[in-house]
Structure 1
Amino acid sequence: MEPITVPDLSARPLGFKVDRLMESPADTLYQAWTEKFDTWFAAPGTLIMKAEVNSVFFFETVFKTEEDLVEQRHPHYGRFLRLIPDRLIEFTWLTGAGGTEGAETVVTIELEPRGNGTYLSLSHKGFSHEKSKTRHDSAWEMILEHLDQKMMEKV
């Protein structure tokens, strides 16, 4: 199935790529991104997600730093653009202040089996300014490490 529309990123060309050899198998990672997002990333009870092209999703992340008086809730929205089971996940990613600043960005995750694990390549494109791009680039490194740890706990 083809996406209804793909974001035009020509006015927002900033992006980056993160590569990581994951211990988890490709099918486990695919499920984590498309069905079990609330077991490792989204706050439990906040996920609305159906793994179908053009399907819209929503979730929140919740965290509290030492400086925060209350938990910080961050809504995330998106829609699936391309899905190839155990190989490719592409979706839009939209957050507010401190995130994508309301810009509809595109995340592409490629999965390539390597032995018992998977070579994961994540690209995130469509940022309107360097600060947002840099913040996401450093966050995805930590997030992918967390994902692999969580999925290996379940094996």
Structure 2
Amino acid sequence: MEPITTPDLSSRPHGFKVERKMKSSPEVLFKAWTEKFDEWFASPGTLIMKAEVNSVFFFETVFKTELDNVEQRHPHYGRFLRLTPDQLIEFTWLTGAAGTKGAETVVTIELQPKQDGTLLSLTHKGFPDEESKSRHDSAWEMILEHLDEKMMENM
């Protein structure tokens, strides 16, 4: 199935790619992104997700930065664009002022099996400015490390 529409990112050229050697298999990582998102990323009880092309999803993260006195809720919205089991996940990613600033960005995750795990490549593009791109670039590094740790705990 083809996506109904894909975002036009031509006016928002900011993006980046992160690669990480993961200890888990492509099968485990594909399920983590499509079925078990609230076990390692989304706040428990906030996830609405069905891993099908054109299906929309919603979840929240809750965290506190050095500047915040209290934890802040961060709603995330998106829809799946492409899914190839154990190989590829592509979805839109939209957050508020502290995230993508309301821009519909695109996240592409490629999973390549390696002898003792997986090479995970994450491309995130379509940011409205350098600031939001940089914030996500540094965050994804930490998030992928956390994903790797959580999946190894569950094995």
Q: Under a length normalisation based on structure 1, what TM-score does the superposition of the two structures give?
A: 0.98
Structure 1, residues 69-110: CA drift from partner, whole Å, max 9, x if none? 321000000000000000000000000011000000000000
Matched, 1:43 2:43: yes
Structure 1 match to 2:115:
115
Distance across 2 between alignment mates of 1:138 and 1:71:
20
3-state SS, counterpart of residue 29 of structure 2: helix
Structure 1 match to 2:91:
91
Distance across 1 between alignment mates of 2:79 and 2:137:
21
Q: CA RMSD in A?
A: 0.8
Give the gaps of 5 or more residues in structure 1.
none
Structure 2 match to 1:141:
141
Distance across 1 between alignment mates of 2:132 and 2:143:
16
Distance across 2 between alignment mates of 1:10 and 1:46:
32
Structure 1 match to 2:125:
125
Distance across 2 between alignment mates of 1:112 and 1:30:
11
Counterpart residue type for residue 84 of structure 1: T
Q: Under a length normalisation based on structure 2, what TM-score does the superposition of the two structures give?
A: 0.98
3-state SS, counterpart of residue 31 of structure 2: helix
Give the gaps of 5 or more residues in structure 2.
none
Structure 1, residues 24-83: CA drift from partner, whole Å, max 9, x if none? 110010000001000000000000000000000000000124543321000000000000
Aligned length: 155
Matched, 1:60 2:53: no
1:19, distance to aligned residue in structure 2 (A): 0.6
Distance across 2 between alignment mates of 1:19 and 1:70:
32
Counterpart residue type for residue 74 of structure 1: H
3-state SS, counterpart of residue 138 of structure 1: helix
Distance across 1 between alignment mates of 2:115 and 2:60:
34
